[in-house]
Structure 1
Amino acid sequence: MKTMIPNLLTLARLVLAPVVAWCIWQGFSIPYQAEFGPQARDLTADAVLTAQAIGDQYKFAAAGLFVFAALTDLFDGMAARAFDADSKFGRILDPIADKALVGLPLLVLAYISGFSADETSDTLFSWSNINIWIAVPVLAIVARDLLITVLRLFAADGEGAPVMMLSKWKTTLELIAVAAPIFIALPFMATGAVLNSVWLVLLWAAAILSVLTGVIYLTSTGARREIPGEV
């Protein structure tokens, strides 16, 4: 029973991860399709404004759900310590939920970078339009997390080891990298090249730390025998 609260919080985070990603997709794609999609030329100005308003609602939902999901990561750890409720199920599920909450939204954001602003185009998306400055760090983060997660699942016992400080910084930067473009896109926020550049710097910093901690994990002698609590 003691493990129920932290495990439920972890499950909530895992369930919310694809919901957040879907809200991000809707929040950006609906107004973009109305303005630049194949049917854009047939839409009235009111229809475009309506699409933008709907997109804003999805962005607000994505922001709120993401903050709540991120807080569950804090609260499930607090609950586990308060109730001394450590469990193998929680040790396995927690990193999967963390990586899903980061990876799924980042993949959506990378895909969105391929949207075309050409009103004469017959398609909204083109692989050639993908912003490599976004796609490369996103793929690095996701690939590293997939590799580490698979190794954790095949671990013999799943026992935890002390968390590396670099891993904490990595997780913080990854959460900011997901949250920043959502909040920047909200209607009351100022947008511009400076904020976008700051976000890219944070994204690349998160990717570098992600790869670095992954290399440390793979090459450390202790990591071959036991799985760190957070990597």
Structure 2
Amino acid sequence: MNIPNILTTFRIVMIPVCVGVYYLPVEWAYMAAAAVFVLAAITDWFDGYLARKLDQSTAFGAFLDPVADKLIVAAALVVLVESYASLWLTLPAVVIVGREIVISALREWMAELGARASVAVSIVGKLKTTVQMVAITVLLASPPGELLGQLGLVMLQAAAVLTLWSMLVYLRAAWPTVKAQ
């Protein structure tokens, strides 16, 4: 275990904390859950930075980091879908989670074929992640029905569009290898 892997593990531990805090019967629960989510998102950036800076990249970290990312996003989206009970939040959430499953499976398959580099993270994927994380933070911070939540909802819908776009970028990059199989 090194510092980046400890931060990644910490991010996984933050998942039930974020969910539990969101459901606390206190006024500040939404903001506190959003703060926990932001802390987890910051550790995501920081663990990658430290792994590169300290030359502490490991196979375990390369496996665990994207798993931690997907788990916290999926958990937050499940909480928000239940809380908001809106088709306009549920559809983007399904698109986002579905894309993560498809791209994870595609990356695993491409790795088995020795072509993992062809589905490396793209700029569209990074933009999607940024918009998605900001949207989820805004939605967590705002009780359903408030204006801030509506802004978060529009941002999540934009993230869903970017999600589909990034999935197409990855599928297009993988297509020559897929076609050859």
User: The TM-score by the shorter chain falls in which range?
Assistant: 0.7 to 0.9
CA deviation after TM superposition for structure 1 residue 198, in Å: 2.0
Does the 8 A contact of 2:4 with 2:48 survive in 1? yes
| 5+ residue gaps, structure 2 | none
Matched, 1:144 2:102: no
Partner of 1:18: 16
Q: When the two structures are aligned, how many residues end up with a matched partner?
A: 174
1:164-200 Cα deviation digits (max 9, x unpaired): 1111111111111111022234xxxxx844x333222
TM-score of the pair, normalised by structure 1: 0.66
Tell me the amino acid that sits aligned with residue 168 of structure 1: K
Partner of 2:71: 100
1:49-95 Cα deviation digits (max 9, x unpaired): xxxxx332433431221121111011101111111122222112111
Helix, strand or coil for the counterpart of 2:55?
coil
Q: 1:84 to 1:22 in 2, by over 3 A?
A: same
Does the 8 A contact of 1:170 with 1:206 survive in 2? yes
Structure richer in helix, relative to its length: 2
Matches within 5 A, 1:167-206: 167-185=125-143, 192-193=146-147, 195-206=148-159
Partner of 1:214: 167
**Following the alignment from structure 1 to structure 2, what is the Cα–Cα distance between the partners of residues 178 and 69?**
12
1:195-227 Cα deviation digits (max 9, x unpaired): 3332222011101111211122122138959xx
- Percent of matched pairs sharing the same residue: 36
Task: Indicate the structure (1 or 2) with the bigger Cα radius of gyration.
Answer: 1
| 5+ residue gaps, structure 1 | 28-53, 115-130, 186-190, 226-231
CA deviation after TM superposition for structure 1 residue 153, in Å: 4.2
Matched, 1:63 2:37: no
Does the 8 A contact of 1:91 with 1:160 survive in 2? no
Does the 8 A contact of 1:137 with 1:203 survive in 2? yes
CA RMSD of aligned residues (A): 2.5
Partner of 1:84: 55
Helix, strand or coil for the counterpart of 1:55?
coil
